[in-house]
Amino acid sequence: MTNFITNNIAAKILCLLVALTVWAYVASGESKNINLPSSIPIEARSVGEGLIAKLSTSEIKVRVAVDRGKLKNLSADSFEAYIDLTSKTKGTYTDVAVTVKAKDPNIQIREITPSTITVTLDPAITKTVPVVVKIEGKPGDGLAPNDPIIEPDKVEVRGAKSDVDRILEATAIIGLKGDTADLKKTVALEGYDAKGDRIKDLGFSPSEVVVTIPIVKAGKSKTVGIKVKTEGTVKSGYWASQISTDPTLVSITGNAEALNSAKFIETATINIDGLSANKTFNVDLSPPTGIVLLDANTEIKVTINISANDTTKEIIASINSINLSATLSLDTSGSDPIKVLVSGPADKLDALTSADVVVTLDLNAFRSPIGVSKIDISRDWIKVPEGISVVRFNPSATTITLQSKNN
């Protein structure tokens, strides 16, 4: 047995090495299906003159079949993804097919996600807007930023009409980190709408501006109120009955001129469009140029209470009785309808029926047949749903007939 193993040992080792080499070669050539970890940007091709394409998503994911040996060199740059907009005019198009091609013909595309997108073709427009500076952070202790110097202070913005119409200014964001001397930086421009949301796919000319922030000695500090800035309209039939902030006051400092004129600090814009219930928002404070918040936390809570606009409705009440003697029968058919004018939110009144407005007669005092009689109605006898109130009712008395059950 030992001789069998040791005989021709060199030849056997050589055969094993050859087998392993062949196996490694075959294994390295096997294809593997993988999800490419990086996204591939989508190019819009053949966009009509004077139009800009707005894509519902700007990137796609792909699953591919690729030889194992090529995996390490695979990246988003190994592919091109595009949509063909030939002959398409202004408007919105759904289910526009995304085409993906691998630059290496041996790579097979297995799956595209998403395979179709929505594209809006908008007219391209250009307009001139002023440049504003948004300062983030703080200068050194006892110092404050003065009014920035911007070069140039106006730029042209180009983009889809629906986007350009939303922008009123170009924003240069510059950060302070304990600076003690004037700060001068070249800053890229960005566009934001009234809600503070960034608008993508805008082009600025020039794309950058030079901003100088003079750092000056801060004046004394003072405490001011907070003004909540809102946009939009609450749901029809409702109104913002109360707006409160936590905290209600903030301490500020800044250069003497800005500090002297500051009466309050505004919040970032809060969209209340369509609100029909109380809601609390976490929003940032937006101090003007030259003002610094002494509290490092710039976020506050804003609670907006929403109340319904009350309206009125007349409804015929239903009649109920309690404590009726077991020997008596009650007949209210001879009474006039009891009309109750109620007040409350319009949506609650719309759903209100006679079954919801009940006049309850307490007949505990009646122990013998009395025939036909009138009973004065007390407001306390009229029950309505929560949130609804009784304005008035008519008549003030109702007619009842009490007879013995033996009759």
| Separation of alpha carbons 124 and 90, rounded Å | 10
338 and 382 both lie in a single domain: yes
Let me know whether 230 and 300 are in one domain: yes
Question: Which pLDDT value is given to residue 25?
Answer: 44
281 lies in a domain? yes
Tell me how far apart the alpha carbons of residues 254 and 294 are, in angstroms, rounded to a whole number.
10
Contacts of 374 (CB under 8 A, 6+ apart): 397, 398, 399, 400
Across the chain, mean pLDDT equals 87
Regarding whether 229 and 178 lie in a shared domain, the answer is: no
Instruction: Tell me the mean pLDDT in the region 118-123.
Output: 94
Would the pLDDT of 23 be above 60? no
Number of domains in the chain: 4
* Of 308, 324, 350, the domain-final residue: 308
Residues 142 and 203 in one domain: yes
Q: What is the pLDDT of residue 9?
A: 64
In this structure, the answer to whether residues 303 and 315 fall within a common structural domain is no
In a domain, 20, yes or no: no
- Range in 8-12, 126-130, 219-223 the model is least confident about: 8-12
Q: Which domain holds residue 90?
A: 31-114
Tens of pLDDT along 69-113?
777 778 889 999 999 999 999 999 999 999 999 998 888 999 999
Q: What is the pLDDT of residue 29?
A: 47
Residues 205 and 130 in one domain: yes
For residue 214, pLDDT over 50 is answered with yes
- pLDDT tens digits for range 264-284: 999 988 999 999 899 999 998
Q: Does residue 14 belong to any structural domain of this protein?
A: no
Residue 317 forms part of a structural domain: yes
- Find all residues with CB under 8 Å of 246, minimum gap 6, and list them: 300, 301, 302, 303
- pLDDT of amino acid 28: 46
Q: Is the pLDDT of residue 13 over 90?
A: no
Q: What is the pLDDT of residue 52?
A: 92
Residue 3, in any domain of the structure: no
Average pLDDT over residues 120-131: 94
Domain shared by 199 and 229, yes or no:
no
| pLDDT score of 15 | 54
Is residue 19, in this structure, part of any structural domain at all? no
pLDDT of residue 290: 85
Claim to verify: residue 59 and residue 89 sit in the same structural domain: yes
Q: CB within 8 A of 315, min separation 6: which ones?
A: 339, 340, 342, 352, 353, 354, 357
**Domain end (from 261, 289, 308):** 308
CATH of residue 91's domain is 2.170.120.30
Cα 293 to Cα 246: distance, rounded to the nearest angstrom: 15
Per-residue pLDDT at 22 exceeds 50:
no
> What separation in angstroms does the CA of 228 have from each of 89, 208, 246, 286, 371?
43, 32, 11, 10, 66
Q: Could you give the dihedral angle defined by the CA atoms of residues 133, 137, 140 and 143, in that order, rounded to the nearest 10 degrees?
A: 50
Q: Of 204 and 256, which is predicted with more confidence?
A: 204
Q: Is the pLDDT of residue 6 over 60?
A: no
Contact in structure between 80 and 107 (CB atoms under 8 Å): no
Q: Collapsing DSSP states into helix, strand and coil, what is residue 354? A: helix
Identify the pLDDT of residue 17: 53
Residues 246 and 274 in one domain: yes
Residue 18 main-chain phi, psi, to 5 deg? -65, -45
Q: Identify the domain boundary among 81, 114, 147.
A: 114
Residues 132 and 65 occupy one common structural domain: no
Q: Which amino acid would we find at residue 251?
A: S
* Range in 60-69, 356-365, 381-390 with the lowest mean pLDDT: 60-69
Assess if residue 391 is contained within a domain. Answer: yes
Tell me: pLDDT of 311 over 80.
yes
- Specify the amino acid at residue 43: E
Would you say residue 26 has pLDDT above 80?
no
Residue 9 lies in a domain: no
Domain co-membership, 316 together with 361: yes
For residue 100 the two structure tokens come to 């993906």
The pair phi, psi for residue 115, each rounded to 5°, is -90, -20
Q: Residue 128 belongs to a domain with what CATH number?
A: 2.170.120.40
Please tell me the distance from the alpha carbon of residue 315 to that of residue 337, in angstroms, as a whole number: 10
Same domain for 275 and 339 = no
pLDDT of residue 5: 52
The pLDDT score that the predictor gives to residue 24 is 47
Query: Is pLDDT of 211 > 70?
Result: yes
**Residue 258: pLDDT band by 50, 70, 90 thresholds?**
confident
pLDDT computed for residue 392 by the predictor: 93
Return d(Cα 89, Cα 121) in angstroms, integer: 7
Which pLDDT does position 141 carry in this prediction?
83
Question: pLDDT tens digits for 148-202?
Answer: 999 999 999 999 999 999 898 999 999 888 888 999 999 999 998 877 788 988 9
Tell me the average pLDDT across 33-37: 87
Mind giving me the DSSP string for 159-220? EEHHHHTT-S-EEEEEEEEEE-S-EEEEEEEEEB-TTSPBPPS-EEESSEEEEEE-EEE---
